[in-house]
Amino acid sequence: MTYEETGVGRTIDRLLREHPGLDSDGALDDLDQFHIGGADAVDLLIESLALAAGDAVLDVGSGFGGPARQIARRTGNHVTGIDITPAYVSAARDLTAGSGVRDLVRFRVGDIAAFHPDPPFQAAITMHVQMNVEDKAAWFAHIARCLAPGARLAVWEVCGPGQAGLPWPMPWSLDGTDSFVVTADALHASIGQAGFTTTEWTNETAWVRSWIARTFADGLPDGPVLPMLLDDGYTRVINYATALTDGPLEIWRGSFVRAG
């Protein structure tokens, strides 16, 4: 399985020792965002969530917790992250412990298919998760079940014509055997089949290419960065950036409402 990184906890412990204050607000933005576009991409999603005071947010596939912490920091809303990888949830908790939003954010290990929150959430995000999901309509239906009628869903996802020609390893798959990339039209249809109506469905590939050019103009950013937490992380990130810049992959941003 791709998400069985070795030594994530030890790496985070070392980075926190070597970089005092790393777990303070905003200091983690190059480390804890397991998706292209980093913290800037999360900001693109926050506005579409249209959060009101007291709204609770669900982060599906929360990874190292960066988006959840960022939403809490920007809005003051409570955020729950759920992820199937115990090491990632443990890392997210460790990185949250010293932050200014530790009372607003919590993480749990689990599969969204087995999660039955009560009460339901008023908003949800998912970023770079569905590429590992074969039955996408069923997966998004599980997300819909966790949301109240009228709740908002924001997505930031990888699309493409399929697996052919992709350079492995990638951030979400080491060899392609657990990767299920589909076209933007197919992904959009699956979300609709799950009970969501579309507010916005936008190709953000040009924005991402500009972000890659700025971010990697002088190589990988200085200081602790995401690839340090992934097995063969630098190769995976470089392959992904190349496939987005010169290859077949696209990034799509979506805003949806759960039907009543």
| pLDDT by 10-residue block (mean), the chain, 260 residues | 62 67 56 82 95 98 93 96 92 86 96 97 97 97 98 97 84 92 97 98 97 82 60 82 92 95
pLDDT score at 29: 55
54 domain residue, yes or no? yes
Q: In what order do the strands lie in the sheet with 105-109?
A: 105-109, 78-83, 56-60, 121-127, 147-159, 250-258, 196-203
> CATH no. for residue 61?
3.40.50.150
Number of domains in the chain: 1
- Indicate the helix (H) or strand (E) that contains 159: strand 147-159
Q: Give SS3 for 124.
A: strand
Is residue 22 included in any domain, yes or no? yes
Looking at the domain assignment, is residue 1 inside a domain?
no
The pLDDT value given to residue 226: 58
252: how many CB neighbours lie within 10 A of its CB?
18
The structure's pTM equals 0.90
Q: Is 230 a domain residue?
A: yes
Residue range of the domain that includes 108 = 8-246+251-255
pLDDT (0 to 100) of residue 53? 97
Residue 11, CB-side half-sphere exposure with 13 Å CA sphere: 21
Exposed, middle or buried: residue 197 (CB in 10 Å: 0-12, 13-18, 19+)?
exposed
Residue 2: inside a domain: no
Q: CA angle, 160 as apex, 64 and 242 as ends, to 5°?
A: 65
Whether 75 is in a domain gets the answer: yes
pLDDT of the residue at 23: 53
Answer for the pair 221, 215: CB distance below 8 angstroms, yes or no. Answer: yes
Q: What is the pLDDT of residue 168?
A: 92
Is residue 163 within 8 A of residue 179, CB to CB? The reply is: yes
Residue 111 lies in a domain: yes
Task: Find tokens 């929360």 and name the residue.
Answer: 62
